[in-house]
Structure 1
Amino acid sequence: MCGVSRLKTTEWYSKDQGTHSSSRYPKVPAKILRHFPLKPRLQRLYMSTKMASFMTWHHDNRTKDDILRHPADSAAWQTFDYIHQWFSSEPRNIRLGLGSDGFNPFRTMSIAHSTWPVVLIPYNLPPWMCMKQPYIMMSLIIPGPSSSGNDIDVYLQPLVEELKELWETCLQTYDASKKENFQMHAALLWTISDFPAYANLSGWSTKGKLACPSCSKDTCSLRLKHGRKFCYMSHRRFLEENHKFRFEKFAFDGTVEKRSASIPLSGTQVLHQLQSINTTFGKKKDTDPKKKSTRRKKSGTEENTLDQGSSNSASKKKEKHPKEHNWKKKTIFFSLPYWETLLLRHNLDVMHIEKNVCDSVIGTLLNIEGKTKDTVKARLDLQEMKLRRTLHPMNNERNKTYLPPACFTMSPKEKEVLCNILKDIKVPDGYSSNISRRVNVRERKLSGLKSHDCHVLMYLLTLKSYVCNRSRPEGSIAEGYLAEECMTFCSRYFEGVESKLNRPVRNDEDIPSEIEEGFAIFSVAGRPIGNAKTCALDQLIVDQAHRYVLFNCPVVEPFIEEHLKHIQTQHPRVRPRVIENIHNKKFPTWFRTHVQELHRSRSEQLSEKLRWLAGGPSTVVAKYKGFISKGFGFNTKSRERLRKTQNSGVVVTASTRSFSSSMDRHPMAGDVSYYGVLTDILELNYYGRLKALLFKCDWFDVLTPDRGMKIDEFG
């Protein structure tokens, strides 16, 4: 493809002949590509009965509504199905996604090394399986020591050839779930990468004036005079038409944004622009050091003339990159017959973007050297653009440059408070890594944050007390409020992009009907943690727990309704709230007496379970320190006292009847979320015949405004 020899060559200068000679090392390849064939691994997905049934989940078991839960719910997937109906008619045909990025396998031993793996994700599987390690397929390993860059198309050739064959010619495969052979096809729907790798995979250069692939030729860019970088100012055009950020002139670039969002190019438009692009793969290395030095000098002079607006450099720029586009090559993926028809060809990895944003925010807030964006050059560029005059550099009495404090500027004491909070923070198990290890309180900085740590910190940094609720200079209150609002908007945007709408909720299926007396029943499948510690409880606490078990047992529901009717007949003029209180207090005693009467009359309505429930539990109970259910681990508050993580938080959504006043005779039933801290895990023992596991919690009062939760203007 690139026309370069596959074997290593060397050159030397012959003194006798006065010429250069070359020879090849014997059978030493210039580059090594590790390719793992794709076809047999796709066939193996259908060899297991259980796995073969999951491969049609996107068609048979997916919830088909307007909510995006799986890539099959996206417009890109549905458009592909509409155009290629012959492919979508067979749900066992495989849809793939391609992901690639460079990494350094040697850590700090070789900083410049870059190895590129290429992996494939089968999207036929459910969302809780397709992105897990056992089901991600390694297709290529492109070794270093340097990044392949645009030459990645050379290495992608064997994979693309396989994908073409899987599209054009079928692959006979045995389906173990249906016990039959079928003709399998496969298609690549899109690629996933960070923004620099986006340039290598798509061919669109992500540098320079036209770096935005969505805006294309309409990209609004500005070359910063002092920062010597391109600044892109058209981000507000992607907001809603009536969004208030569009009308904030002085907080952004001094203008009101009235333009609508740009429309991304279709595959046909991209191919039309790529007609004049001729790509030569392979990097030419100059052995003469004099040529390298002259090239560096030329590049330096070209950069200076570019800043001065030289017409010669502008004409050369036009010849190399026309104004209409920023393409550097025609990507090899266009050799796939269906690539032109795809609605979405390349995706950006949002975790990379969120980590970069979080690192910049933290570096700016804590003023970390080398990571802060609030530098002298940035302030000089603001002065050059005539924006935010209160932030322009000034000269003090000693004739030194002084940077006025911004709304986000933190004092050393405030930085220390923030670092101490992050040092002592506790999060649930598996929610993030131990953030306290990343905090250096003495130097007041954070380092070595993982991607998911940044995801967690983006929410913590939206709190007013940490970011903007502090003393500010005059005239910067509005700027501080806007900075806080931008942080909240950015954090909630990442939350919306990364949220899984079918995320399992604790106690989602087995929630109690009411919350009372500090208990919550927990009757789902699971297992306690540690050995039980038996102890005798006070009779009052046992009675409260027993009452809670009765009110949440489906077998007792007919007796609850009967008792309410019995109270209403005895007290016809009593208000509903009073009836509710009488019922809560007297039901266990009435239930025991009623069951005894049914037992004497040998009623068929009475079951063995009702008899043991009516008898009540033993005062000797078993206590546990933790409980595991549905992948969630619950710990008591005392158990996690010396731990770095906390899992004592409990949330229960209960159906509760609410009264508007003491005279209300028509209570409204609705779902109320109760939040609490787990203090004890008790196992009631009905004398060896029945057992009930309960959580004893300190509940957070949501309904009381003074003691409950308050929601601010940001939700």
Structure 2
Amino acid sequence: MSKDRRSVEYDEGVENFINFALAHSTNHTSIKCPCLRCGNLLCQTPQVIREHLFFNGIDLSYRVWYWHGEKGPSGGFSNVSQQRYDKCEYTDVADTIDMVNAAQVNCMNDPQVFGRLLEDAEKPLYPGCMKYTKLSALVKLYNLKARYGWSDKGFSELLQLLRDMLPLNNEMPLSMYEAKKTFSALGMEYQKIHACPNDCILYRNEYKDAIACPTCGKSRWKINNEGGKIKKGVPAKVLWYFPPIPRFKRMFQSSETAKHLMWHAKDKECDGKLRHPSDSSAWKLVDHMWPDFASEPRNLRLALSTDGINPHKSMSSRHSCWPVIMVIYNLPPWLCMKRKFMMLSLLISGPRQPGHPLWTINDFPAYGNLAGCTVKGYYACPICGEGTYSKRLKHGRKNSYMGHRRFLPRNHPYRRQKKAFNGEQDFRIPPKILSGEEILEKVDLIPISWGKMKIKSLESDVNTNCWKKKSIFFELEYWKYLHVRHNLDVMHIEKNVCESIIGTLFNIPGKTKDGLNARLDLVEMGLRCDYVVQFTLGGCTHFERYMKVLKGYVRNHNRPEGCIVECYLAEEAVEFCTEYLSGTHAIGIPKSNNYDNKFGRPITGGRSANIDHKSWLQAHHYVLENTTIVQPYIEEHMNWLKSQYPRQSKRQIWLQEEHMRCFTYWLKGKVEEAIHNGQDIPNTLRWLAHGPTHQVVKYPGYIINGCRYHTKERDMTCVTQNSGVSILAGTMQIASSKDKNPVFGELCFYGSLMRYGS
């Protein structure tokens, strides 16, 4: 077994092994292959086994050939100490082996880790277990933990209980720590990059060996509060970086995910409606300017979102860490904002927020940090810029932003009203919106200074009132051409505005904006105090929900960022495994209630009824017209009609109507004649020609192909509508009753389900 595979001894050993295995096997065409790749799990022909043993090598730990008829020392299975494990055949074994092989690229530098992972993927959960291995059981348990937010302590106690409940010599780990060690080989890599406490530099590349910041002089290491000693080796601030390219590669390893990533080019409906970012003008602009990029549908369109969160689940801003979330717009709209496909690309540790040195859908203050524009003061609008209309409130000592009638149409009646507004008419035109190229010309003149130390002195030297820095995103070739470069998280705007309005209307102490100073400002500005305010409450957005998920990762409040990183990597590994295990649902993608089987399922019980002959004939004809095996007979029947009625052969409308009237009877006679003549007719065609029964079961609702359908009567008692249906059908299209040249084409028909039967 340990001989060189090129030697004569190894060749003779392979032949002796195959002859021995065939002599002790009941199946002489297929036996278990002991190569390193198959691992006695897959059966192969002797010729394939011979090739595998030369190409892959044999498992050196397989010394007693008990899978091929050899008896162990006790006459049965060999001793456990002599074997790595007792193997078994279970339901998900092939998928688990594929999963481990897909993760092999992460273990290239440590073959022993991959070996342990492969062993866990093949090792049965307990002796004689035919369904679960150690790895598959852990994946499914951790999947439940992540989906339902179990604590680490609770999960450890569950593992201990399962270990006690399972048979002896089971492989269930005793703690969360042991489970994480098993997942370590499946997780993706990340990098811890030391950063200056003032966000001046990252200690990488030319600064990787520096011990102090060359800009502000701050130490790279933490300073002990007791005596001011420097703790060398403990960084003052850390940036957690998750390389995206290996994660993109892993996504394309999954055939289902790879198909979704090309949805925007292959499966999207192009009807001019805005349903997805690929329908936007910005997407089409990139396609037009860079056709080579657009020609490959696998090229990814990405978006970044960030905001500060308090990882301790409180509203205090004393500790703020900033996760930078990446989303992929290639995915269909029902997936691109789901938790599974939100990728954590950066995690900026706290407790201080990065501020203006930060460079990415967010709230308004973060908008200013990322875009480099001011979001407060007299020029707080990043769109209007220097055309922002603002007024300083004398008594409230705040800036008020007015003049919104400028954005109305030129002849709008509100422009001429005085009493309803500030006592003046407004016929001004809206300010010009600067393009990305015009903004780049302005910010190119602003000197760049990293960190927080020199921001105030730098601002006094800048000649613009609207911009503070040049956004790093302008380094991207396409950035200056985009129509929309930054987006706001609507949740923040809705929450803040609604909170202020509700607090004022209900006079909530501490939240109302109504007071003596506010009344004095209204009088001075000439505004009415009897406004009727309308407001709409809105919910959270996808990114805010994901921020809550990240907060839920924190277990050790002394090291919140480390908890977030470790839990994210573990969940990432479980998501990867979920792609390969059947019966396991993805985390963050809710399971549809409209599950069905091959034939669908009713939502409630039905009642038996007989249908009239006309409905029976229509249903039968519809099935025949849409069945592939019947298509040759349809063409034959049309030719038969033309030969039987030569005067009507050019009248397409008559032919189509006659075909619909008599095709079912003609097909039944045709099939019966063929059977009588001894021809071989498939059973499917026999059943179709015979037709359905007149007795059906009627249901008020039915689920099929993942869609739920209700009758009109049931819809009347529901708050949702599921009775509307549409069908694209081929039909004769005529302009009028006198049209002699009808056109055959597809037409969409709409209607409502009045009853549903099967």
Question: What TM-score, normalized to structure 2?
Answer: 0.47
Pick the structure with more strand per residue. 1
Q: Normalization by structure 1: what TM-score?
A: 0.49
**Computing the radius of gyration over CA atoms, which structure comes out larger, 1 or 2?**
2
